[in-house]
Amino acid sequence: MINKKVENISEALQGVADNMTFMFGGFGLSGIPENAIAHLVKLNIKGLTCISNNAGVDDFGLGLLLQQKQIKKMVSSYVGENDEFERQMLSGELDVELIPQGTLAERCRAAQAGFPAIYTPAGYGTEVAEGKETREFDGKMHVLEYAFKADFAFIKAWKGDAAGNLIFKGTARNFNPNMCGAAKVTVVEVEELVPVGELDPNQIHIPGIFVQRIFKGVHFEKRIEQRTVRKRA
């Protein structure tokens, strides 16, 4: 059995460098690899292209990399609750590629499966399709979208074992499974790291073949992006 476990965050992120392309799992603040992000901030590498559904908030998640001007391009579905993301985009400081959310997921999954590209009907006839190849299938027009090419994918899972087998929890699953194996190196931080054989094979969401490095994260912060409450009756 191949042991994918690394002892610390420094070992997990070995090889990251300026001008690389990174994938980050998560949706808002749910399921984001906060340990990896925090260490990337500390390393102060620059010129990054980041593929993520959105950039979280100003003071947490990818917002921390934006604050330090470490990101040159964001590939996302929406700006979200991040004011700094919006400011940098509108000022022209940050290159932003906004794409439909389903297309983002499928371009990740295409890379994971080894497909060079996909056809999707999403975005046809809009700015999304400008300059792209289109083709008709069964009377419906589709847009050609290329699979992502990333150097690292940073993933957050609930449980994992030393072989890299993963289990996600609830909505924290989101984009994480599609990004596993979609980059040259997949790095996973887990809340619980267990010995090989302890996970029920029927409950595993992602097999270890898609993972190169796994480690137990620390100080996981369960933040809520937007808290909505109702008054008592």
Q: Within a 10 A sphere around the Cβ of 44, how many other Cβ atoms?
A: 10
**Could you tell me what percentage of the chain is helix, strand and coil, using 3-state DSSP and rounding each to the nearest 5?**
25, 30, 45
- β-pairing verdict for 213-216 and 183-194: parallel
| Cα–Cα dist 224/59, whole Å | 13
The DSSP secondary structure of 151-220, one letter per residue, reads EEEEEEEEEEETT--EE--GGG-TTHHHHTTSEEEEEEEEEEEE-TT-S-GGG-SB-GGG-SEEEE--S-
- Is residue 57 within 8 A of residue 34, CB to CB? The reply is no
99-118 in b/e form (b: 16+ CB < 10 A) is bbeebbbbbbbbbbeeeeeb
Domain made up of 9-115+149-216: CATH architecture: 3-Layer(aba) Sandwich (3.40)
Output the CA–CA distances (angstroms, integers) from residue 21 to 51, 195, 212, 217, in the order listed: 8, 32, 17, 22
- pLDDT at position 231: 81
pTM above 0.75, yes or no: yes
Domain boundaries, the chain: 9-115+149-216
Per-residue pLDDT of the chain (233 residues; tens, 9 = 90+): 689 999 999 999 999 999 999 999 999 889 999 999 999 999 999 999 999 998 888 888 899 999 999 999 999 998 877 888 889 999 999 999 999 999 999 999 999 999 999 999 999 999 999 999 999 999 999 999 999 999 999 999 999 999 999 999 999 999 999 999 999 999 999 999 999 999 999 999 999 999 999 999 986 667 666 677 888 77
